[in-house]
Structure 1
């Protein structure tokens, strides 16, 4: 199980020279006055801009904690449909002084990447990825121990890629979109197939999060928060199971109940 303190330990960067591995501390200690007038030392979340540059072209500027800049940039580019194969990435270099991350990739005559137009999405293929009620319970219990930045400072969201009750990788960042992109970057570099795994998010399941899950080929989305109407409509179109309001031993299935098994212990 991987948490944010050792999140890079399982990655294989042999194909990327160089990869800067430039994570920063995610919190800052400040003074605050409590309800009794006492001055206290407390942590708050850092918020740093970083501009993603792909082949000398500025793509986007994101606000981030700074924990996983390489994974964030690669995952963002992947989820935008701008890169699709880790073997084609030459280097990923983070420069915090310039607030940039520069990604270089190989080119060929067949390279038709359009920086202004993401690839068209299609529904996920048929799968047999059934998740049980007890698996959901176990997963929620395991994830509750991983949100280190949130417990310390609040103000962040988290996402995890999971296999049964095992959390393969967990990431926190300023927004749920960033956290999902970091998961995508982790999967991208490690060649992880998504169709037999799940994506957990602390934030609401909007259309953008559902689309990111589809990009990662993850057929089951779980959130402790709610969903939106457009998120539900897109999940139906893309064959993605939506499970939300998931806390403790409670959850609601908004789409794809045929992929949830209710057998097992009744907790």
Structure 2
């Protein structure tokens, strides 16, 4: 499978930029034969997020799209409510801090005491009452065609990315039907999905007609965040956790994993699937061309 050229990426509103300054750096080492080798490694930087005058969290991130990461994290944690007016988002690169300002007061002392370290890479954090946001949640019955899933998998896996350049990173892609729209990457898949959520909030994008694709595992955190964003379909080339499947079944989210080439497995929300593509006609997926980093 050949990588797409920049001309092939016209569908994207935001595509990865593997050559961006500050996201990777070259490190010299030795290979299995003792020969000198130079590879690209992903940078990690702390980003402290404030909501008004209250410090909320410090996240380890690659450092791109801090505005979207802050907005998405606060939105997915239930700290930014529907209809709340955001009066400003200020990013200070020198001290690596984002301050999100609203027209309300911030009183999350008790919420901040109840936080759970998640299975997310780079240590994800979920604050205690995220699950409460799922009570009574109804996701739209938007159908999803298997032809869209096959097309998305092929397009996304051909997209030049930090994952292909350096590894040690996860991607999350917001999609509409068979078109990938916004492709975010980070050292933790929780950060990548928060960047997507922040972009959606900033742009006022609809959720009911979208598909979320991730390169990482389908964990409870990924399912919860996708459901809270109002997106009815979550897909991945990777596998599942049992709690992630259980939550997806409870909230009626279509959960599709192990999506490689002709194959995929749906463990929740099967009723949304329209099987309009013959798997036998789908191209087999070989090893990713251009991959320079190790497997995740």
Q: After TM superposition, is the score higher than 0.5?
A: yes
Q: Which residue of 2 aligns with 1:37?
A: 34
Alignment of 1:221-240 (within 5 A): 221-240=234-253
2:76 to 60, 66, 79: 79
Evaluate the alpha carbon distance shift between residue 126 and residue 50 of structure 1 in structure 2; reply closer, same or farther with a 3 A threshold. Answer: closer
TM-score, with structure 2 as normaliser = 0.78
Q: Does 1:150 align with 2:147?
A: no
Q: Which residue of 2 aligns with 1:18?
A: none
Q: Which residue of 2 aligns with 1:14?
A: none
Q: Does 1:65 align with 2:65?
A: no
Q: Which residue of 2 aligns with 1:16?
A: none
Which aligned segments of 4 or more residues in structure 1 are displaced greater than 4 angstroms?
Answer: 111-115
What SS is found at the alignment partner of 1:237?
Answer: helix
Deviations 1:178-208 (A, max 9, x none): 0010110011111111111111011111111
For residues 167 and 86 of structure 1, the distance between their equivalents in structure 2, rounded to whole angstroms, comes to: 28
Q: Which residue of 2 aligns with 1:262?
A: 275
TM-score, with structure 1 as normaliser = 0.86
Q: Does 1:160 align with 2:185?
A: no
1:49 to 46, 49, 54: 46
Q: Does 1:241 align with 2:254?
A: yes
Unaligned runs of 5+ in 1: 7-22
Root-mean-square deviation (CA), in Å? 2.1
For residues 78 and 63 of structure 1, the distance between their equivalents in structure 2, rounded to whole angstroms, comes to: 18
Evaluate the alpha carbon distance shift between residue 113 and residue 125 of structure 1 in structure 2; reply closer, same or farther with a 3 A threshold. Answer: farther
What is the count of residue pairs matched by the alignment? 248
Contact 2:139/2:253 (8 A) holds in 1? no
What SS is found at the alignment partner of 1:244?
Answer: strand
What SS is found at the alignment partner of 2:216?
Answer: coil
1:5 to 10, 17, 20: 17
Q: Which residue of 2 aligns with 1:214?
A: 227
